[in-house]
Structure 1
Amino acid sequence: MFVDHSKEAPAGDVSAIAALDEPTRRRLYEHVVRQSDPVGRDDAAQALGLARQTAAFHLDRLADEGLLDVVYERRSGRSGPGAGRPAKLYRRSDRQVSVSLPDRRYELAGRLLAHAVEESDATGEPVRAVLHRKATELGAQLGAQGGASLTDLLEGHGFEPRREGDTILLSNCPFHVLAREHTETVCGMNLHLLRGVLKALGESGFEACLAPAPGRCCVRLQPTA
C-alpha cells in the first residue's frame, strides 16, 4: 500500500516563512543553520552583535514556528550535582517549509513515481500499470480521511474545483510542470488518483475523465453516463 507522507499545512508554512521576513530573525536563523553544533543564546547574540534578550526573543519565535528545534545540553560536559542547569540551545529542525502559489504537489508525484519504479523493478510488472494502481490506492486513502465532501477534499489538495453546470472542472493542476513535460504519464496518474478518490467517497454520480484544456487540470469530473 502506498502511504502519503507529504502532509502539508499551507497556513503554517506561510506563517513560518513570514517569520523570516524580520531581518534580525532571518540573520539568526541563517547563523544557526550554518553551525555544525546547536547554538546558545549568548553565542548567537555575540556573533551577531545583539542584546541577549533580543536574540532569545527571536530564537524562541523561530522555535515556535517549527523552524528551529530546542535542545538542552550541559556545555561543561559534567553531570550530576553541581554541574549546573543545562543550556537552552537551538538547531535547525527537520521540518520542510514550502509555499507555492498556485498550489503544487510535486513531492506527492515524486513519491508515487518512485514507488512505481521500485515495484516494477522488483516484480517485472509494467511501471505504468503499477503507477496507476498506486495512484488509485492513494486516491482511496485520501477519500477515506476525515469525512470531507468531494469539493472540500479537492480544494484541500490544490485542485481548485468549480462547477460548470453538472460538471466539476479543476482549475489548477497540482502537478502542472510535470504534466506539461510528461503529459501521458502524469495525466494518467492524476486520472487514477481522482478515480480512487471518487470510489472511496462513494461518489457514483461522477466519473473522472481526461479532458485536457488550456489553463486547467487535464481531468474533469463529469456526471456518470
Structure 2
Amino acid sequence: MAAVASLGDEKRRQLFELIAASDRAVGRDDAALALGLPRSTASFHLDRLVQDGLLAVEFHKAAGKSGPGSGRPAKMYRQAASEVGASVPDRNYDLAAELLVAAIEHSTATGGAVGDSLLATSYGKGQALASGAASLADFLGGEGYEPRPDGAGGFMLVNCPFHRLSDGHPDVVCAMNGSFLKGAAAACGEPEERVAPNSEPGQCCARITPP
C-alpha cells in the first residue's frame, strides 16, 4: 500500500499533482516555490515519492551552462510514467495516477479506508469509461490491454497498462486493476465474475473467462 499511503500526505499529494501536471521535469526549488514549502520539506517529500515509485529522477544542468565550472547537474523530478512514448506495449500511468488520487480524495471526504476507496473509485471509473463501448473486448483493446481469444470464448489480456507500478506494488495495483475491469464488464453488460485472476508472467494480472 506504499504508493497509496504516500499520496495520503497532503503536501506529498500536492507535489505529486504538480509534477504530474507538468510537461517537463521539475526541480526542488521550483516545486517548493510553487507550493510555498521550505526547500528541505519539498526535497524530503519528493524523494519519498521517488522511493514509492510515483516519481522518477533526472539530472539536468541549468540552461546555457556546460563544460568545466558549470556546476553539478540539478536533480529534477517527473512522473514515473515515462516509458518511451512510442514503445510497445502501451502503458497507461495517467489513469493509474488518476485512480490513486481519486481514492485518496474519496477516503478523505468519507473517512473510509483508503483501500476500500481505491476499489470503489476504480470500479466507478471502469463503468464510466466503458459506457457505450461496442463490447468489453473492444474497450479493453482501446485501453491497451491487448485482449487475445483463449479459444474457449474468453480472452487473455497480454499487456499490463500499469506494468511498472504493478512490479513495485502488485497488491495495490492488481486490486485497483481488477475493480476497474469489473466496472468495465458491468458497463458492457457482462457479469463481473468473468474477470478472474491470471498468473501468466508478462501478462495482465486478470483475464476474461468464457461466458
Range class of TM-score, shorter chain: 0.5 to 0.7
Higher CA-based Rg: 1
Deviations 1:92-124 (A, max 9, x none): xxxxxx444210000100010011112212322
Picking from 137, 147, 172, the partner of 1:185 is 172
Q: What SS is found at the alignment partner of 1:223? A: coil
The residue number in structure 2 matching 1:222 is: 209
User: Pairwise mapping of residues 116-127 of structure 1 onto structure 2 (< 5 A)?
Assistant: 116-127=103-114
Q: Tell me what 2:96 maps to.
A: 109
- Aligned counterparts of 1:99 and 1:148: Cα–Cα separation in 2: 27
Label 1:205 to 1:128 Cα distance change in 2 as closer, same or farther (>3 A). Answer: closer
Residue in structure 1 matched with residue 47 of structure 2 by the alignment: none
Deviations 1:134-159 (Å, cap 9, x if unpaired)?
Answer: 111111112213x3222211111000
Selected match of 1:133 from 98, 120, 124: 120
Higher deviation after alignment, 101-110 or 118-127: 118-127
Q: Does 1:150 align with 2:136?
A: yes
Range with bigger deviation, 132-141 or 119-128? 119-128
Matches of residues 1-225 of structure 1 in structure 2 within 5 Å? 98-145=85-132, 147-166=133-152, 167-204=154-191, 207-224=194-211
Cα distance in 2 between the residues matched to 1:164 and 1:197: 20
Residues 208/99 of structure 1: CA separation in 2 closer, same or farther (3 Å cut): same
Distance (whole Å) between structure 1 residues aligned to residue 162 and residue 198 of structure 2 = 16
Counterpart of 1:154, as a letter, is: L
Q: Distance in 2 between matches of 1:132 and 1:139?
A: 11
Deviation at 1:205, TM superposition (A): 8.8
List alignment gaps of at least 5 residues for structure 1.
Answer: 1-97
Contact 2:183 2:192 in 1 (8 A): no
2:175 and 2:169 map into 1 onto residues whose CA distance is 10
Q: Is the 8 A contact 1:133 1:192 kept in 2?
A: yes
Q: State the TM-score, normalizing by the size of structure 1.
A: 0.53
Partner SS, residue 194 of structure 2: strand
In structure 2, how many angstroms separate the alpha carbons of the residues matched to 1:209 and 1:171?
Answer: 14
In the alignment, residue 208 of structure 1 is paired with which amino acid?
V
- One-letter amino acid of the structure 1 residue matched with residue 105 of structure 2: E
Matching residue's letter, 1:159: Y
TM-score scaled by length of structure 2: 0.56
RMSD over equivalenced CA pairs, Å: 1.9
Q: Count how many residue pairs are aligned between Structure 1 and Structure 2.
A: 127
Aligned-partner Cα distance in 1 for 2:160–2:192: 22
| C-alpha contact 1:206 1:223 (8 A) present in aligned 2 | no
Q: Secondary structure at the match of 2:199?
A: coil
